[in-house]
Each structure stands twice: as structure tokens, then as C-alpha cells.
Amino acid sequence: MSLLDVRRLRAGYGPVNVLHDIDLSVDDGQIVVVLGANGAGKTTTMRAISGIIPCSGEVTFDGRSITTSSADAIVRAGIAQVPQGRGTFPELSVIDNLRIGAYTRRDGGTSDDVERWFQTFPRLAERSDQRAGSLSGGEQQMLAIARALMSRPKLLLCDEPSLGLAPIIVQEMFHIIDSLSKEQGIAVLLVEQNANLAMDIAQRVYLLETGRIVASGDAATISADDSIRKAYLGY
């Protein structure tokens, strides 16, 4: 039984349908990567799973259907998304960005978790009272990830975390995501254009092309397949 199971997912904007019967699944603690070019439907997939845009088909999470659930119910069920382009709250301080990440929690453990992520990301601790909008791109991406983790999710959705970051920061970012998944047992669904690095940390890979899954399999199998590599990964 997968943690996240997506069947025949269709979604789009107004009359325009972007996704055509997407099937994918993520197991507990697994890192799954969806690769695709601009316009393939990566962000739409993420937004549909998070309940930001309406979708049809069947999305099951943790044994429950969340296809028609509201965005806040989906967060409470245990899915957190790091949206494309950071998605921080630029006018709020760094620490308020973390606090707001725990909005759905009522257990009073917020400040302990803030402390914990400040230890993981010391640069955020240094800038605790600074407005998030004044951070560098890499710092904002770290803040966005830490913010998403504040809700204690079982599944983390990351929408192109490498976008607009320097290669060395991208490496650091993937390393952080990898160790988070290993240490905390958090499952990760990552959509990316940056195929090489993403495949290094993934267990399973899907190739998305104009709203359809055209290939899927183990990360090792996909990266070893010459024809897929040439056609979709460009090297």
C-alpha cells in the first residue's frame, strides 16, 4: 500500500486540461522524482495533489481519498508543499515564516520545532528577525523547506527546488532533502528539470511529457536506459 497513490489524475486551468490521466505513487519514506520540461505539467500535478486547483481522478493518501479535500484538510492529513519559486512570505520575518508553517498544528510544540530547524539551518537562525524577502535565493529555499516541515508532514512535495539557484547551492539542497528523508523517514515527491542530481537521490522516476507519464521505473533502470536518457535527459 503506497503512502500516496494517484490514479487517472486530470487537472487544468479553466477549460484547458493540462494533465491527462496521470498515474503515480510514492511509498513510505521514498524519494520519487517526476522529470519533465517546461510546460510538461509538473507544477499542475503538485497543485492538484495539494488541493490548490480542482482535479478529477483518484488521489489517495495514507489510505484516505483526498481528491476533493480542501487545501487545509490536505495539509492536516500530512502533505506539505514547497511551491515553485520558494513561496516564502516576503513581508514576514524568518521566524514568523516558520511559525506560520505550523498553523495546522495544535500541539504546542511549535517553538521546539523552530529551534530544531534553526539548528539544522544555522543561517536561518542568524536571520531570525529579518524579513524573508531580504534573504538570498538559497536561504529562501531553505526557509521554504523548513517552513513546510513545520507542519510535520508524512509527505513533502518539492516543486523545482533547484530553480534559479547556483549549482553548488542546488547540490546542497538535494543533499538536505536526501538526508531529511533518510533521517526523518519523510517521503518526498520532487518535480525537477535538473535530471542528474535529482536521479541521484531518487528511488523511483517518472518522465512527464505534455501532461502524460511516458516512462517510469527505478532510478537506476531509467538512468541506465540509453534511449530514455538521450530522448528525455539530453546527455
Partner 1 sequence: MDRFFEALFLGLSAGATYSLVALALVVVYRGTGHLNFAQGEMGTLSAFMVWWFNDKGVPLLLAVLFGMAFGFLLGAATEVAIVRPLARRSLLAVFVATITLFLGINAYTSGVWGAPPDELMDSLFPNDPDDFVRVFGTIWRYKDIGTMAVTLIITGLLFLLFQKTRFGLAMRGVASNTDSARLVGIPTGRILAGSWAIAAALGALAAVLVAGNQGQVTPTLMVTVLTYATAAAVLGGLDSPGGAVIAGLLIGVGEAEAAEFAPGWIGQDMKLGVALVAIFVVLLFRPSGLFGTAKVERV
Stretch that binds partner 1, among 4-12, 16-24, 132-140, 190-198 (CB under 8 A): 132-140
Q: Is 137 in the site for partner 1 (CB under 8 A)?
A: yes
Q: Give residue 134's identity as a one-letter amino acid code.
A: S
Contact present, 165 and 84 (Cβ < 8 Å): no
Helices within 65-136 (DSSP H only) = 71-77, 94-101, 110-120, 122-126
CB of 117 to partner 1, least distance (A): 14
**What residues are paired with 56 via a beta bridge?**
10
Q: Which of 89, 117, 206, 232 binds partner 1 (CB under 8 A)?
A: 89
**Residue number with CB closer to partner 1 (44 or 223):** 44
Q: Is 68 in the site for partner 1 (CB under 8 A)?
A: no
Closest CA to 30 of 189, 174, 172: 189
Q: Which of 11, 18, 34, 75 binds partner 1 (CB under 8 A)?
A: 75
Q: How far apart are CA 174 and CA 70, in angstroms?
A: 30
> x/- contact string, 30-59, with partner 1 (CB under 8 A)?
--------------------x-x-------
**Residue number with CB closer to partner 1 (106 or 234):** 106
Q: Is 152 in the site for partner 1 (CB under 8 A)?
A: no
Task: Name the pairing type of β-strands 4-13 and 55-61.
Answer: antiparallel
Stretch that binds partner 1, among 34-42, 99-107, 180-188, 220-228 (CB under 8 A): 99-107
Q: What nine digits make up the cell of 71? A: 487545501
Q: Give residue 98's identity as a one-letter amino acid code.
A: L
